[in-house]
Amino acid sequence: MRFTKVIQGLEYTEVKLMKIIIAVLAAAVFCAPAGAVDQAGIERRVNALLSRMTLEEKLGQLQQLAGEANGDLHPEHLVLAKKGALGSTLHVRGAARVNELQKAALASRLKIPLLFSFDVIHGYRTIFPVPLAETASWDTDIVREAASVAAAESRAAGIRWTFAPMVDIARDPRWGRIVEGSGEDTWLGSAMARARVNGFQGADYSAPGKIAACAKHWAAYGAAEGGRDYNSTDVSERTLREIYFPPFKAALEEGVATFMSAFNDLNGVPATANRWLMTDILRKEWGFQGFVVSDYTAVDELINHGIAADGAEAAAKALTAGVDMEMVSRSYNSEGARLLKEKRISPAQLDEAVRRVLRVKFRAGIFDSPLADEKEEADVLLAPAHLKAARNAAVRSFVLLKNDGALPLSGALSSIAVIGALAADKEAPLGPWVGDGRARDTVDILRGLRERAGAGIKVSYSPVGGPLDKSTDFSGALEAARGADAVIAVVGENQEMSGEASSRSSLALPGNQLELLKALRAAGKPVIAVLMNGRPLEIGWLADNLSAVLEIWHPGTMAGGAVADVLFGDASPGGKLPFSWPRATGQVPFYYNHRNTGRPANPDAKYSSRYLDLAITPQFPFGYGLSYSSFTLSGFELSASVIPAKGSLIASALLENVSSRAGDEVVQLYIRRKAASSTRPVRELRGFTRVTLLPGEKRRIEFKLGHKELGFLDEKFRFKVEPGELTVWISTSSEGGLTGSFRVSK
Ligand code: GLC
């Protein structure tokens, strides 16, 4: 029986430890730090260039314009580029088109190259699972790899800057953009932010296959009231600093090149005009050296917000706040000269914004290598290794929510009925923000199942039932179900039901899908629901009445293969929920790391923080997910019962695979402070690791608890470890687990 140790997610055996020690010693002696970028040289080049620029050229660098959705450029772009009056485009893509426009910029007086950007959120041409799904893998290696593949394909297509990662925490799943982020938890979201920035940029984003990243949307965009996109947010400074800011700080610490200002009004000041966010926090407190781009027309939208009378005032407020580049609206360029003349902005402000943009352009390497290699593009897009990575990411993102034994499908089956429009849909698996993905490349679920079933299993299909289907005639589906040993119903949301401008007032299964499932269940066959969705949905009836429920999210180009891998048992699901799954819409905003209140919810106590008509518990808790294997946790240990405020300890437990199948488990560590200088959550995630164990294998999983894990913001928002008692859980979700406590001494 192999006995290994896992510390913070890294598996150590004696041999491996020796190899690591030798490698570290060798690196220290022979290698310069990887990715060292000549920052001083870049500053010299920036300032030398800046000193030669005219006002029109300076304002041009602060202008980003949009190309066509299909990647075409506009004739105006060529004219502006030749004049040095354009800094960047979004959407323009494809090596040949990019080069055509870049050559126009290189023909300008100062030959400043354009920075080509695009929303490569979860893949360029090879589309990976949506970010919420990737997060559900709880596997930062997978997330990093997905971003790395997206960067490689984007770079081959001439893109040098992506508007990702989206790191907005979301506690209200009515908000459509929950699908684009990492869910409700700050610790998990911060880990994913670091992994994505590292995947896109590496140590040096001028390197081949790498692109500049963008942390968005700064800040608290996910706190939109009512879950309605673009709506106002009103968030206390403590909640901003404890919940919404840390993933952005993590991205910055990972070296993210740029930030994007959010659409929303934050506490009465729209983010795009919010100097506290853009300068006081981002520059002065955090030392950010890159540049901030506004969101799409967000500068001119300051007029709608009611804090700017016209474009000139909007431009003055945004630039003064610290927004350096204007996306699509043109007030910086149209009003800049006047604002300087009227001293509403200063030459120094303008120069600093241009300096930041030039700095990122130099760091991105586009001065030294401005053109795309038109020969490599075709070989890189949809490369077999990329498709394989996308399929693996999808498999690892799936979350098994219920299984009465119906999964994996038995080899004895001779027929299965696949039901639902989503099963043959080629757009829905790609989810929102499809980059340059093409539906025709999607392996849809029906195809995946047919290819895996082969000749031995008859696969029938009925398109009855779907997110937009209102029909109550289920006869076609029932006929298919009656003729099959098992029914696989693919239900959920289509591509347009989550993402930007796609908030829903209800989390109900849309269309006629719940009624369809009830009819199928009544037909008496085991029904397996495969959920394709971008947010949690009301699925209480499914959980209570169906044989199995597998969450597949929007799984990307390789959806069908990945679903077949898991349904037929070629792979075991191991994902965990990145949010608390509400029982009903009425519960939201809803999250596990809530404060206790003075009257904690107690179903038996009328005067407690609860509902009269619904349990306040989740349908499924944050961090929850089943496997085809079975695991036990035992042997909880704390290496100390008391530590000093500057001390640390190790919490550990023994994980054992007690089944006959190899599989993955995600072991999670949570803490709670019972008494502190501010009210603390009832649980806070402070460590996780996904491990694969063979049948019968045991592994002691260790977590270090030190300053980073135990600290929190005191009444002056200083990060400190306070004396007091803490409870620790080691578990496989945010509920239950092995527990113990220790004290931090004065
Ligand atoms: C959109 C989104 C933002 C995106 C930008 C460019 O409105 O809010 O996330 O990066 O515009 O497409």
- Residues 344-368 have a mean pLDDT of 98
Whether residue 630 has pLDDT greater than 50:
yes
Whether residue 3 has pLDDT greater than 50:
no
List, in order of start, the domains of the chain with CATH numbers.
392-587 (3.40.50.1700), 631-744 (2.60.40.10)
Q: What is the pLDDT of residues 74-96, one digit of tens each?
A: 999 999 999 999 999 999 999 99
Instruction: Assign 268 to helix, strand or coil.
Output: coil
Distance 4 CA to ligand 1 centre (A): 45
Q: What is the pLDDT of residues 395-419, one digit of tens each?
A: 999 999 999 999 999 888 999 999 9
Whether residue 279 has pLDDT greater than 50:
yes
Whether residue 26 has pLDDT greater than 90:
no
Residue 17 pLDDT level (bands cut at 50, 70, 90): low
> How high is the pLDDT of residue 31?
42
Most ligand 1 atoms within 8 A of CB, residue of 295, 300, 498, 502 to mutate: 295
Q: What is the pLDDT of residues 33-79, one digit of tens each?
A: 444 678 899 999 999 999 999 999 999 999 999 999 999 999 999 99
Torsion angle (degrees, nearest 10) of CA 150, 155, 157, 158: 140
Supply φ then ψ for residue 312, to 5 degrees. Answer: -65, -45
For residue 296, the ligand 1 atom closest to its alpha carbon is: 11
Give the closest residue (by CA) to ligand 1 atom 8.
295
Cα separation, 649 vs 643, in Å, equals: 7
Cα separation, 105 vs 330, in Å, equals: 19
Q: What is the pLDDT of residues 637-656, one digit of tens each?
A: 999 999 999 999 999 999 99
Cα separation, 260 vs 164, in Å, equals: 9
Distance 295 CA to ligand 1 centre (A): 6
Q: What does DSSP assign to residue 664?
A: E
> How high is the pLDDT of residue 21?
56
Q: What is the pLDDT of residues 103-133, one digit of tens each?
A: 999 999 999 999 999 999 999 999 999 999 9
Distance 298 CA to ligand 1 centre (A): 10
Most ligand 1 atoms within 8 A of CB, residue of 218, 500, 502, 503 to mutate: 500
Distance 75 CA to ligand 1 centre (A): 23
In short, whether 177's Cβ falls inside 6 Å of ligand 1 is: no
Q: pTM of the prediction?
A: 0.95
Q: Measure Cα distances from 417 to 159, 342, 475, 521, 528 in Å.
A: 43, 72, 13, 13, 10
In short, whether 163's Cβ falls inside 6 Å of ligand 1 is: yes
Whose structure tokens read 């006047």? Answer: 338
In short, whether 216's Cβ falls inside 6 Å of ligand 1 is: yes
Distance 294 CA to ligand 1 centre (A): 9
Quote the tokens at residue 310. Answer: 């016209």
Give the closest residue (by CA) to ligand 1 atom 10.
163
For residue 180, the ligand 1 atom closest to its alpha carbon is: 9
Whether residue 666 has pLDDT greater than 50:
yes
Average pLDDT score over the chain: 95
> How high is the pLDDT of residue 289?
97
User: Which of 16-30, 134-148, 268-282, 542-556 is the least confident region?
Assistant: 16-30
> How high is the pLDDT of residue 38?
86
Distance 310 CA to ligand 1 centre (A): 23
Whether residue 28 has pLDDT greater than 50:
no
> How high is the pLDDT of residue 37?
77
Cα separation, 151 vs 744, in Å, equals: 44
In short, whether 296's Cβ falls inside 6 Å of ligand 1 is: yes
- Residues 570-587 have a mean pLDDT of 98
> Taking a C-beta distance cutoff of 8 angstroms, is the pair 608, 430 a contact?
no
Most ligand 1 atoms within 8 A of CB, residue of 92, 119, 214 to mutate: 119
> How high is the pLDDT of residue 36?
66
User: Which of 15-19, 312-316, 366-370, 680-684 is the least confident region?
Assistant: 15-19
Give the closest residue (by CA) to ligand 1 atom 7.
296
Cα separation, 649 vs 171, in Å, equals: 31
Whether residue 5 has pLDDT greater than 90:
no
> Taking a C-beta distance cutoff of 8 angstroms, is the pair 721, 705 a contact?
no
Which of 259, 251, 207 minimizes the C-alpha distance to 363? 207
Whether residue 11 has pLDDT greater than 80:
no
* Position with higher pLDDT, 422 vs 454: 422
Q: Report, as residue numbers or ranges, the catalytic residues.
A: 295
